[in-house]
Structure 1
Amino acid sequence: MKRLVLACCAVMGSPFIAHAQSLGFGGGSGATPVPINITSSNGIAWNQTARTVTAMGDAKAVRGKVTVTSDQLVAHYHPKPGTAVAPKDGAPKDGVPKDGAPKDGALGGLDSGSSEITQLDAIGHVHIFTATDQAFGDLAVFHMARHELVLTGQHLKLITPKDVVTAKDAIQYWSEEHKAVAIGDALIVTDDHRSIAADTLTGYFVASGVTPPGASSATPDDQASKLRKVVAVGHVVVRTATDIATGDRGVYRPATGIAILTGDVHITRGPNELSGQKGQVNMKTGIATLMAAPGHRVEGLILPDSAPAAKSPHSPAKPAS
C-alpha cells in the first residue's frame, strides 16, 4: 500500500444536521498545519505540470478525526507565495523524486510547507466519516481556501446520531459561515420518524461556545456541533406522527422543536384539513396549529367523529375472533 503525508496550510473549519459539522475536512486552528495522510492500493501519481497528486484504488485520506475513502483521491496544490523551491543536485522543483513517484511519507516541497493544497477531490464511492457521522456520494470536493465542501452524485446521504439527510442534487457545507445546504428533493428524517422535506434545506449551526435560544447550557464542544435553525424553501412538507403540514417556506428551530410554515399552508390530519397563510408545527408534541395572517381568514374541512379514539393503556385487549 502506498502512503503519503500532505501538510495543508489552508485551514478549513470543521456538513449538515446536528453533529455533522465534524465531517468538514478541517485542520483546526493555529499556525501549525495538520497533515493529511493519504494511502492507496494501486499507487500514487505526481503530476508536476498539473500540480496534482493522485492516489488510485481504495484511496483513503485521514485528517484528525475525519476519514475520506473513495476509488480515487486527487490533491491539487500550488507553491506558497515567496517560497518557491529551487532544484538542487538535479532534483525536480518541489522536491519530487526524479522518477515522479513520491517517496513514502516524504513529499519534499509539499511536506516541508513550501506548497499548499488548494483542493482535494474524492472520486467514486465516496464515504466521509467520523466516529459518529457519515456522508455518502459519488464526488466530494473540498475547497480549502473557501472552507467549502461540495458532495454530489447518486444517493446522497448524510447520517448523524439524530438525523438522516438525503438530497438529489448536492449537499454543500461552508465551515466559516456555519451553514450547510441540501439541494433537490431535500429531506431530513429524525430518529423518531418525523421529517421535513423541501426543494432546498439550509441548516445553520451554533458557533462554538454559544447556546441557542431555548436550549439548555452545554459544553462548548457539544454546542459547536448543534443545529440552530433550518430554512426550508419550495414545496415544504412537515410530517409528524399524526399531521402533515405543507407550505411554500418554513423555518424550523430544533432547540424548541417548532416549525413555522408560511405561504399556501395546509395542515391535514386524516380526512381533516385546515388551510391558511401561516402554520405552526411542534415537532416534539406533534401538535399543528393554523394561524390567520392579517387580512386573511382560516378555512377548514372537519369531518365529525373522524379523529381516532384514544386507546387507554389499561383497556382490555380485544379477544381474537
Structure 2
Amino acid sequence: MTNSLTAGFLSIFFWFLNSVAIAQSVNIPLTDGSNGSPLVIEADEGLEWIPKEGKYIARGNARASRGTVNLRADELIAHYRDTKDGSGQEMVRLDAKGRVKIISNNKGEKDRKAKTTVTGDVAVYHVKQSVFVLRGKRLKLVSPQGTLTAKDSLEYWDKNQIAVARGNAVVSQGKQRLHADILTAYISEPQVEGTRKKGAQRVSRVDAFGNVHVSVPNAIIRGDKGEYYPDKSVATLSGNVKITSNKNQLNGDVARVNLKTGIYRLVGKRVKGLITPGRTR
C-alpha cells in the first residue's frame, strides 16, 4: 500500500481506448475526456467487434497495457456508445473477467523500482463514476508498503482518491495485521522536498470500520473503529477498546499500536485491567 497502491491499481482509470492491437484499431475516448494516452489491447484468440451491442471483446489471455501498467484477464470487454454530437464513440465501461491481474512497475523511494500487483476474479471500471471494482475469491493488493485483502470487493474511486476494501478486510505489514469489516485508504501526492513537483502517490491514512482488531505478538487489540498510518506503521483504535494478552484483559477508550514494534498503549479517561495471577504479557 504505497505510492503504487494508486499508481497501478489505478492508472487504468485515466486511459483512452485510442488504439486496439490485433485485427483492427478503434478510437473510444473516456466520457470525461480527461486523458489522451493510448490503451493497447491484445489477446491470443483475437478481437471481436459487436456494433449492435456496442462492445469490443478480447478473448484468450487478454492484455491491456499503458506505460508501466498492465491489465491481464481471460477476457476483456469494452462497452461504448456514440457521442451525442455524432463525432465518434466513447467508452462507458470496461469489464475484465477471469484471473484478473493488474501489475504496475513504478519508482518508489530513492527511484527504486516499486511493483504493485492487484488480483481478483472479475473487475469492472465504471467511467462516469470513475470507479474500478474488483470481486472474487482471490482479492489481494500486494505492494512494497504492505498487503491488502478483502472478501467482498476492492474499489478505487478516482475522483475522490480513495480505495475501499469490503468484507473481512485486512491490511498487513510484516507479521502485524489490522482487520475490519471495511478499510478505506486515502491517497495523496506529497510535494517533493525543495521543489514544486508532486511526488509519487502513496497512502496517507487507512480508516477501519466494524469489528476492528489488530494482532501483535502476544496480544489482540479490538475496537469499534480505527486509523492506520502506513508511513509510521501506527494504528489508533477507539470505541470499546479491549486488549487481550493470554488471560489478561485491559479495557479503555483509545489504544495506540505500533505494528512494527508490537508495542501498544492504552489511553483515555476510563482504563480498566483484569490481570490473572501467574500470567505475564
Q: TM-score range by the shorter chain?
A: 0.7 to 0.9
**Which one of 37, 43, 46 corresponds to residue 43 of structure 1?**
46
Q: Do 1:153 and 1:170's aligned partners in 2 also have CA atoms closer than 8 Å?
A: yes
Is 1:56 aligned with 2:59?
Answer: yes
If the length of structure 1 is used for normalisation, what is the TM-score?
0.72
After TM superposition, give the deviation of residue 145 of structure 1 in Å: 2.6
Hey, what's the Cα distance between the residues in 1 that align with 2:176 and 2:200?
24
Hey, what's the Cα distance between the residues in 2 that align with 1:266 and 1:222?
40
Matched length: 254
Q: Do 1:27 and 1:64's aligned partners in 2 also have CA atoms closer than 8 Å?
A: no
Q: Do 1:17 and 1:203's aligned partners in 2 also have CA atoms closer than 8 Å?
A: no
Hey, what's the Cα distance between the residues in 1 that align with 2:215 and 2:34?
46
**Which residue in the other structure is 1:159 paired with?**
142
**Which residue in the other structure is 1:258 paired with?**
234
**Which residue in the other structure is 2:122 paired with?**
139
**Which one of 10, 14, 18 corresponds to residue 27 of structure 1?**
14
Q: Do 1:157 and 1:165's aligned partners in 2 also have CA atoms closer than 8 Å?
A: yes
Hey, what's the Cα distance between the residues in 2 that align with 1:220 and 1:164?
31
Hey, what's the Cα distance between the residues in 1 that align with 2:181 and 2:172?
15
**Which one of 83, 90, 111 corresponds to residue 116 of structure 1?**
90
Hey, what's the Cα distance between the residues in 1 that align with 2:122 and 2:196?
32
Query: Structure 1 residues 78 and 28, CA, compared in 2 at 3 Å: closer, same or farther?
Result: closer
Q: Do 1:267 and 1:288's aligned partners in 2 also have CA atoms closer than 8 Å?
A: no
After TM superposition, give the deviation of residue 72 of structure 1 in Å: 0.6
**Which residue in the other structure is 1:301 paired with?**
274
Amino acid at match of 1:115: Q
**Which residue in the other structure is 1:198 paired with?**
180
The SS at the match of 1:35 is: coil
After TM superposition, give the deviation of residue 232 of structure 1 in Å: 0.6
Structure having the higher Rg: 1
**What stretches of structure 2 of length at least 5 have no aligned partner?**
17-32, 106-114
Amino acid at match of 2:208: A
Q: Do 1:27 and 1:63's aligned partners in 2 also have CA atoms closer than 8 Å?
A: no
Give % identity.
34
1:206-217 matches, within 5 Å, as: 206=188, 208-210=189-191, 217=193
The SS at the match of 1:146 is: coil
**What stretches of structure 1 of length at least 5 have no aligned partner?**
1-15, 85-113, 212-216, 309-321
User: Which one has the bigger strand percentage?
Assistant: 2
Is 1:176 aligned with 2:159?
Answer: yes
**Which 10-residue stretch deviates more, 64-73 or 180-189?**
64-73
After TM superposition, give the deviation of residue 219 of structure 1 in Å: 7.9
Hey, what's the Cα distance between the residues in 2 that align with 1:257 and 1:287?
11
**Which residue in the other structure is 2:108 paired with?**
none
Hey, what's the Cα distance between the residues in 1 that align with 2:162 and 2:199?
15
The SS at the match of 1:41 is: coil
Is 1:70 aligned with 2:81?
Answer: no
Hey, what's the Cα distance between the residues in 1 that align with 2:197 and 2:136?
31
The SS at the match of 1:20 is: helix
After TM superposition, give the deviation of residue 138 of structure 1 in Å: 0.9
**Which 10-residue stretch deviates more, 266-275 or 157-166?**
266-275
The SS at the match of 2:14 is: coil
Computed over aligned residues only, the root mean square deviation of the Cα atoms, in angstroms, reads 2.5
**Which residue in the other structure is 1:313 paired with?**
none
If the length of structure 2 is used for normalisation, what is the TM-score?
0.82
Hey, what's the Cα distance between the residues in 2 that align with 1:279 and 1:44?
55
**Which one of 210, 221, 237 corresponds to residue 245 of structure 1?**
221
